[in-house]
A and B are shown apart, each in its own frame.
Chain A
Amino acid sequence: MSIQVRNIHKAFGSFIALDDVSLDFPTGELVALLGPSGCGKTTLLRVIAGLESADRGSVLLEGEDASATHVRERQVGFVFQHYALFRHMTVFDNVAFGLRMKPRAQRPSEAQIRGKVHDLLKLVQLDWLADRFPSQLSGGQRQRIALARALAVEPRVLLLDEPFGALDAKVRKELRRWLRNLHDELHITSIFVTHDQEEALEVADRVVLMDHGKVEQIGTPEEVYRHPATPFVYGFLGAVNFFHGRVEGEALRVGDDRLPHSGGGIDHGTEVVAFARPHELEIVTDPTEVDGVAARISRILAFGVTARVELEGANGAAGQHFEVELTRDRVAKLGLMEGQGVRLVPSRLRVFERGALGRRAEVA
């Protein structure tokens, strides 16, 4: 089932949680709502479920306005951040709950319920836990039971609120892969909320980035990572280095330093912020080099496949912190040492006009 959100506005007192948000969630996709805490992503999820009502705007389920439909008739599956399993019921009774609460006319027989619950428990690979209570399960198991419980009523949409938020790193990684596989099996339109960019990029078909109650960018993980539309997205997805400067013809003036930049649509003299990922910065040791931002190496971390070099800006970018990622061979070849003065030259630079007004972007 497709979900459309039209001009949703929601405020809690003076705090605006959702500011005129419009989104389309196509049928069968797994979409991530990604953003920092307080960006409105959970509120949006709850508005779609009907647990929260919007001040303005509408939610369309399969093209029909669901604003007046009660939560229990929306046929959504909701998985809560802290699972919200019924603690006085066994795992079996938890999963069977939705079926048993159906009006008598629609309610399956007890035997059918038993069969269905066992199928679902098999699907989440926990059928051996049917007689346990939620308190006797691990966090990851509880999460999967919560999912089985939500799926029992055959929802048209599956909504997950920070599904892996309360789990430790290893379980989280396993469950991520598991959720992706499950989705590929069931193909039910799903939306999950997360503040973890790695999680969103790894699991989702499509990522919606949100900040301050607004949608910043929508796209496939590849698109949003490779072509961030706004400075916020750039900063939020992965590590980033930024330079404050001014456009001067074919270059960017950062203090006394100069970064080559192939003009583009930004006017001469405009104040800008330029972004580069750690692997998009080149370290130049040649003291005669004039291009690039001067910096001093403060630390070289070479324990992984790639080495990470941390630098403090000198001259124009004084007091600023930079991070460069390069191969260990390259570190050895350049003969980098801590305390050494170098220049940073970006191989790829993304420039945004300063201030919220112009968010036009140019790739150099």
Chain B
Amino acid sequence: MSATAAIWSGPAGREGADRFERRAATREAPWVKWTLLGVSLSFFAVFLLLPLVAVFAEALRKGWATYWLALVEPDALSAVKLTLLAAVIAVPLNLSFGVAAAWAIAKFEFRGKQLLTTFIDLPFSVSPVVAGLIYVLVFGAQGWLGPWLSDHDVKIIFAVPGIVLATVFVTFPFVARELIPLMQAQGKEEEEAAVVLGANGWQTFWHVTLPNIKWGLLYGVILCNARAMGEFGAVSVVSGHIRGLTNTMPLHVEILYNEYQFAAAFAVASLLALLALVTLAVKTWVEHQASRANHELPPESPHPVSTS
């Protein structure tokens, strides 16, 4: 994913661009620069900024009172709760899985490593609707495990567990994808040094590995969380749209919209938009911290190189 590249390019990248532009030999004609800037800025305004403004404008069209009522309505509140619950379960699960997978892939050699790396990407490459259908096929009333589950009175599809499962599935790769390149670049030398100095596995992880990956990890968690709260497709398939029970925020927005309650729909949507803005702000801050940490690395050996 390109996110890692963005994280680690920080100030050095900017300096490079600066020099590139100042030198007559590498400078492009002004019209190239301004055309590129114009195209990207107008694209940004029309496709990104305008919708964002529209969300908040529509939400507040009928005044703050309506806005507030739409948010504290019981169905809306239960949707918010369910969304938070799904995120609270999915993010820690994928956090621990992501760290474990990245650790295994970056620091060990084993058979099937390539296969594991490919499989981690599966949720990215498969359509969320298909992801949801997979769970319906396995756990649904007519699914493989359906009869057994209903015998034991366990409800997964059209219930909260299904929503959590679908959320876990679609947010699976974020943390691992973020950490693998980072850990591979950092190599194993510091861990080896820790082990030689007598540290056990847990001490090595806690005192050496974790501090080195913390910014990348936080970045992955932020993205994972944003997706967990915003997921629509997979959750929609397994949810059953039972108001007050199995509706997450994105699903709630859809229902309100289909019922022509535009102000209420946009009010809930504005919460999601707000979440996105907060995510972006935190992400920028993390990037800043990471690039600062990166900047402090020794200039002659930014990454310890492992030798044979």
Q: List 13 A-B contacts (CB under 8 A).
A: A49-B196, A72-B199, A76-B196, A87-B212, A87-B298, A97-B194, A98-B197, A98-B199, A134-B298, A136-B296, A149-B197, A150-B196, A161-B307
Taking a contact as CB atoms under 8 Å apart, the answer to whether B301 and A153 are in contact is no
Q: Which one, A42, A72, A88, A142, contacts B200 given CB within 8 A?
A: A72
B: number of interface residues (CB 8 Å): 26
A72 to B193, CA, bound (A): 10
Count residues of A near B (Cβ-Cβ below 8 Å).
38
User: Residues 295-308 of chain B: 1 if any A CB is under 8 Å from the residue's CB, otherwise 0?
Assistant: 01110110011011
Q: Judge whether A80 and B198 touch: CB under 8 Å.
A: no
Please state if A71 and B195 are interface contacts (CB–CB under 8 Å).
yes
8 Å CB contacts to A: which residues of B151-192? Answer: 189-190, 192
How far apart are the CA atoms of A84 and B298 in the complex, in Å? Answer: 11
With CB as the reference atom, state the residue of chain A lying closest to B210.
A88
CB-CB < 8 A to A84: which residues of B? 189-190, 192-193, 304
Chain B, Cβ-Cβ closest to A79: B193
Which residues of chain B are within 8 angstroms of A161 by Cβ–Cβ distance?
307
**Is B207 an interface residue, CB under 8 A from the partner?**
yes
Q: Which residues of B contact A166 (CB under 8 A)?
A: 300-301
Task: Check: B16 CB closer than 8 A to any chain A CB.
Answer: no
> Is the Cβ of A97 less than 8 Å from the Cβ of B197?
yes
A-B contacts besides A87-B296, A153-B198, A166-B301, 10 pairs, CB < 8 Å: A42-B307, A51-B192, A71-B196, A80-B193, A84-B189, A86-B208, A87-B297, A102-B198, A135-B296, A135-B298
Would you give the 0/1 interface string for A86-115, flagging 1 where the beta carbon is closer than 8 Å to chain B? 111000000001100110000000000000
Within 8 A of B (CB), among A18-69: 38, 42-43, 49, 51
Contact (A17, B193) CB under 8 Å given A86-B208, A153-B198, A166-B300:
no
CB atoms of B307 and A81 under 8 A apart:
yes
- Does the CB pair A51–B207 fall under 8 Å? no
- From B190, B193, B199, B297, give the contact of A135 (CB < 8 A): B297
| CB of A133 closer than 8 Å to a CB of B | yes
Residues 129 to 162 of chain A near chain B (Cβ within 8 Å): 133-136, 139, 142, 149-150, 152-153, 161-162
0/1 interface trace, chain B 192-227, chain A, CB 8 Å (1 if under): 111111111001000110011000000000000000
Determine whether the beta carbon of B298 is less than 8 Å from that of A72: no
A86 cross-chain contacts in B, Cβ below 8 A = 190, 193-194, 207-208, 211
For the complex, what is the distance from the CA of A166 to the CA of B298, rounded to whole Å?
Answer: 12
Closest-by-CB residue of A relative to B295 is: A135
User: Smallest Cβ distance from B186 to chain A, in angstroms?
Assistant: 9
A97 and B301 form a contact (CB under 8 A) = no
The complex places the Cα of A14 from the Cα of B304 at a distance, in Å, of: 26
Q: A102-B198, A166-B300 are in contact. Are A82 and B192 (CB under 8 A)?
A: no
Chain B nearest CB: distance from A261 CB in Å? 41
> In the complex where A49-B196, A77-B196, A84-B192 touch, is A101 in contact with B304 (Cβ < 8 A)?
no
Q: What is the bound-complex CA distance between A60 and B65, given in angstroms?
A: 81
A12 at the interface (CB under 8 A from B): yes
**A242 located at the interface, meaning its Cβ lies under 8 Å from any Cβ of chain B in the complex:** no
Judge if A164 is at the interface, Cβ distance under 8 Å: no
Cβ of A135: which chain B residues have Cβ within 8 Å of it?
296-298
